[in-house]
A and B are shown apart, each in its own frame.
Chain A
Amino acid sequence: MTVVEDLAPPPKVEIRPRAVGRREAWARRLPLLPALIYVVVVTQIPFVVTLWYSFQSYFWDVPGGAHFTGLSNYTKVFTSPDFRGALVRSVIMTASAVIVAMILGVVCAVLLDRKFFGRGVVRTLIITPFLVMPAAASLVWAGPMLDPNFGLLNYLLAPFGVNHVAWLSTHPLGSVIVVMIWQWTPFMTLIVLAGLQSQPTDTLEAAKVDGAGALATFRELTLPHLRPYIELGILLGSIYLVNTFDQVRLMTNGGPGTTTTNLPFYLYQQVNNAFDIGGAAAAGVVTVVLTIIVATFALRLFARVFQAQETRA
């Protein structure tokens, strides 16, 4: 497994370029256009409409449709403790799940990086949680795993003095994060494992000949080598996990109270329970603006990760 220099232009093919002209330029663009137009239409138009509705007062349950209200939706969003709370919880959930999943992922990857009996099976077992339908994972964790009366976890922890804990009401946020970690550790494992297996063995050999211990070798050689992989895993994991909805909806339904309401679930409630299209749109616009700020850094990191691999290759 190696990392490709993904952003390098492929010059080999260009040995004998076709006649380059205006017609040729369009012929090159043509294959891209359907996908480009499709993505622009389907992903950008809803956001433009969102922007428009964010200045409208529009409630499902009130007849008469939408009418212009200026910035009042935004005033509501910025003064709403629910929105702020959901925002903070989204950050907490995403950050803690990504970080813990990455730490566990490194551990699993190190375990898998060595030959032992049944390695293929172990790898398959470890990646399985990622493949389980999130809705199924949420419901199975909420019921058979975490139930206070018959849950497997309480049974397994009983020897340690745990007695019928109602995890979802006493540790709701923690329970949701645990399921997120459980599902995303395999993802981190695979990415870090690819990094470990791309490490040149001769450096490791040299370190061993020099008498370096395993831990020192890992810290001084392996970790720096893994850095772009870890960054990539954290970035991609964050992109996916910030949208976490299934676990919240199906394990705790945002509660008790609002203790597990993150942004996706808050927006879902605005539309489905409060019927507030305008308010949800304004909250959505604020979310998108915040995302763009974060994504700008993320994209820069993304480019840097590829660039770094380009120069190394």
Chain B
Amino acid sequence: MIAIRDPGLRAGRAGRTREPTRQLLRDVSGRIGWAVLAWAVALAFFLPVAWMVLTAFKPESAAETWPPQFTFSPTLSQFQLVFSGWGPYLTHSVIATVVSTILVLALGVPAAYALSLQPIKRWRDGLFFFISTKMLPIVAAIGPLYVIALKTHLLDSIWVLIILYTAMNLPLAVWMIRSFMLEVPGELLEAARLDGAGRIREIREVILPIVSPGLVSTALICVIFAWNELFLALNLTVTNAATMPMFLISSVPQEGLFIAHLCAAATVASVPVIIAGWIAQRSLVRGLSLGAIK
């Protein structure tokens, strides 16, 4: 056995050793060391994000210097530039994200119900069919998707994104909502049934109130994926439905200084989802693991 003592784990047990003060010291220094290490790792991961936000406040001339500048007189001019040009992109992103998420919930809640609380006979196959569609790479069908969109006059329309984002997020939502529904106490459903509640009343009055926090976190996960999606938007839209990721690309000109402007656009595009993710932190892991991990 390797005998590496773990000071932190032994915290609060100092009294058992012969030298309480020394043990206490070791505990404290172990804890501080641990915290310092964790903070260092966290800051390293966060550094590119911090650098992006910092650069967004730079004048263009201070963004591309050697050595990089950490002190400068901050300016909002990059943000003003972003806000003057992002209108249509923002609208398209909001519509595609919100409508697809509403559709996902509208289709996903009944489906999850049919696969959990009142399961159909082959609910296992149903569940695995949904997840298997997530494994098919959508990129493989991009050419034909383009042709289909063209022939159905959906090319460069917001609907093509809404339709595809709904299909993209629906499997994930079904798995996730199902895991929330399985937590509804059986006694409650039993009581509702004894009261003679029909299926619709049962869903509306018993299940939905209990799973609604879960629905909110499901919605947030869907929003994150729809908002960040680039591949389909880039292939199937040009101007009438171009979304925020495409706004970012458009903010990279062929020549001239653009780094500060790019960072401002990247910050503005990322912030809504970063905040949504921070709020949904607790349920993030559940959504990402399709409800497998609570």
Contact = CB atoms under 8 A, between A and B. Distances in A.
| Interface hub of B41, B121, B263, B276 (most chain A Cβ within 10 A) | B41
A137 to B, nearest CB: 7
Contact of A32 (B1, B111, B133): B111
B248 A50 contact: no
Interface in B228-249: 228, 230-231, 234-235, 244-245, 248-249
B140 A47 contact: yes
B291 A270 contact: no
Contacts of A243: 137-139, 231
Given A36-B126, A213-B3, A291-B136, A145 B48 contact: yes
A114 B8 contact: yes
A132 B126 CA distance: 33
Nearest to B111: A35
Given A43-B133, A284-B143, A250 B249 contact: yes
B49 A28 contact: no
Contact of B293 (A149, A191, A264, A302): A191
A108 B248 contact: no
B112 to A, nearest CB: 9
Interface string B38-79: 110111011111011001000000011111100000000000
Interface string B189-205: 11001100001000000
B258 to A, nearest CB: 8
Interface string B266-293: 1101100110111001001100111111
Contacts of A288: 136-137, 140
Interface in A233-254: 236, 239, 242-243, 245-246, 249-250
Interface residues of A, number: 125
Given A47-B141, A145-B51, A298 B135 contact: yes
Contacts of B51: 140, 144-145, 152
Nearest to B45: A126
| Interface hub of B37, B52, B117, B133 (most chain A Cβ within 10 A) | B52
Contacts of B132: 295, 299
Given A49-B144, A149-B64, A193-B285, A215 B294 contact: no
Interface string A1-19: 1111011011011011010
Contacts of A9: 119, 123
Contacts of A44: 133
Interface in A17-44: 18, 25, 27-32, 34-36, 38-39, 42-44
B26 interface: no
Contacts of A16: 190, 193-194
A53 B143 contact: yes
A239 B277 contact: no
Interface string A133-153: 111110111011101011110
Nearest to A47: B141
B108 interface: yes
Given A10-B117, A133-B269, A243-B231, A116 B131 contact: no
B144 A306 contact: no
B158 interface: no
Contacts of A108: 41, 45
Contacts of B227: 133
B143 A281 contact: yes
Contacts of A216: 1-2
| Interface hub of A49, A133, A185, A284 (most chain B Cβ within 10 A) | A133
Contact of B141 (A49, A127, A130): A49
B144 A277 contact: yes
B139 A264 contact: yes
A186 interface: yes
B148 A143 contact: no
A277 B117 CA distance: 45
A42 B281 contact: no
A140 to B, nearest CB: 5
A232 interface: yes
Interface of A: 1-4, 6-7, 9-10, 12-13, 15-16, 18, 25, 27-32, 34-36, 38-39, 42-47, 49-50, 52-53, 107-108, 111-112, 114, 116-119, 121-137, 139-141, 143-145, 147, 149-152, 155, 182, 185-187, 190-191, 193-195, 208, 211-216, 229, 232, 236, 239, 242-243, 245-246, 249-250, 263-264, 267-268, 270-272, 276-277, 280-281, 283-285, 287-288, 291-292, 295, 298-299, 302-303, 305-306, 309
Closest 3 CB pairs of A and B: A12-B186, A31-B110, A284-B140
9 contacts: A29-B120, A35-B170, A38-B107, A127-B281, A131-B273, A136-B245, A186-B45, A232-B292, A271-B143
Interface of B: 1-6, 8-10, 31, 34-35, 37-39, 41-43, 45-49, 51-52, 55, 63-68, 107-108, 110-111, 113-121, 123-124, 126-148, 163-164, 166-167, 170-171, 174, 178-179, 182, 186-187, 189-190, 193-194, 199, 224, 227-228, 230-231, 234-235, 244-245, 248-249, 252, 259, 262-263, 265-267, 269-270, 273-274, 276-278, 281, 284-285, 288-294
